[in-house]
Amino acid sequence: MEKEIIVKLHKNFDDRAHMEKGVEFWYARELQVLLGYDKWSNFEKVIDKAKIACETVGQVIHNHFADVGKMVDIGSGAKKEVADIILTRYACYLIAQNGDSRKDAIAFAMTYFAVQTRKQEILEKRLAIWERVQAREKLTASEKQLSGLIFERGVDGQGFARIRNRGDVQLFGGYGTQEMKKRLGVPEKRPLADFLPSVTIKAKDLATEITNLNVKKDETIRGEMPISLEHVKNNRNMRDMLEKSGIRPEQLPAEEDIKKLERKIKSEDKKLPKNVKKLNGKN
């Protein structure tokens, strides 16, 4: 395919992209023209094949193909409503896959939407990693604050470990810190939280934050057992909340070592242009 054609098609597809609430989409009627289909009825057949492909791979069709009505001009200032479909980039990719590959526009679209879909997958994966790393850093800060607070209230480092373990027993349905490390295959010298999923890290953090708040505002909470009772209560509340959503923290599998993810992010950041780094909040 000649470079001029590629440049023109790229511009055409970019120009027809719409954005609403951060979600990029295309209208099927506009995509029909971009892909070189004269008749809507013929293009509908391609869309139907794409929907079948979508369902076959376990995706929910209406998450990618949303039926809408659209007003169009029919001359003399009159308008009528016609059926249209809002398409995600993944839906567009499936349509291109099921179109006539002999058409230049179809051949281009297969690559265009595949690349766009892959970029989205990479972005979503990176954001999930970043979210987990941030949650872990926040838990570290909360636990450091708790350690300082309980030291002021007459509890040493070993007492802090026991308090945290009692909280874990409540959060993990009877499993203490060491038992959960064995259950998840966490190396002996590594923190349990480095291998927990984001939802569990956040639950631990919120329980710790509440313990910090209540200990700070109540001078009568002193010594290991009173602080333990406060921390146990807060972790039990977190578990109750998770259970209402069908989540049992001890049943969730271990996730990749967070230290490896941090190294991966730093390595990737070194390869990014400076303007991209700024988008990630870096100078």
pLDDT-based confidence at residue 72 (cuts at 50, 70, 90)? low
* CA distances, 156 to each of 2, 59, 97, 163, 224 (Å): 72, 53, 64, 11, 9
As a whole number of angstroms, the distance between CA 180 and CA 60 comes to: 35
Q: By CB neighbour count within 10 A (0-12 exposed, 13-18 middle, 19+ buried), where does 198 fall?
A: middle
Q: Which two tokens stand for residue 10?
A: 């790229």
Backbone angles phi, psi at 107, to 5 degrees: -60, -45
> Is the pLDDT assigned to residue 103 strictly greater than 90?
no
pLDDT digits (tens, 9 = 90+) for 135-179: 999 999 999 999 999 999 999 999 999 999 999 999 999 999 999
- Greater pLDDT, 281 or 47: 47
- Which one is predicted more confidently, 199 or 111? 199
The pLDDT of residue 71 is above 70: no
Residue 201 contacts residue 193 (beta carbons within 8 Å): yes
> From the centroid of its chain, how far is CA 94?
23
Cα–Cα distance for residue pair 159/27, rounded to 1 Å: 62
Higher pLDDT, 104 or 60: 60
pTM of the predicted model as reported, rounded to 2 decimal places: 0.60
- For residue 26, list its beta bridge partners: 87
Which run of H or E residues covers position 79? Answer: strand 78-87
Q: Please answer whether residues 207 and 232 qualify as being in contact, where contact means their C-beta atoms are separated by less than 8 angstroms.
A: no
Using 50, 70 and 90 to split pLDDT, how confident is the model at 120? low
Cα end-to-end distance, the chain, whole Å: 40
Half-sphere exposure of 224 toward its Cβ, with a 13 Å CA cutoff?
A: 12
What are the structure tokens assigned to 195, written together? 């291998």
Q: With beta carbons less than 8 A apart as the criterion, state whether 269 and 193 touch.
A: no
283 or 41: which leads in pLDDT: 41
Strand order in the sheet with 23-27: 18-20, 23-27, 78-87, 65-75
Please give the angle made by the CA atoms of 167, 204 and 122, to the nearest 5 degrees.
Answer: 150
> What is the pLDDT averaged over residues 239-266?
93
Give Cα 20 to chain centroid, integer Å.
19
Q: What is the pLDDT of residues 214-224, one digit of tens each?
A: 999 999 999 99
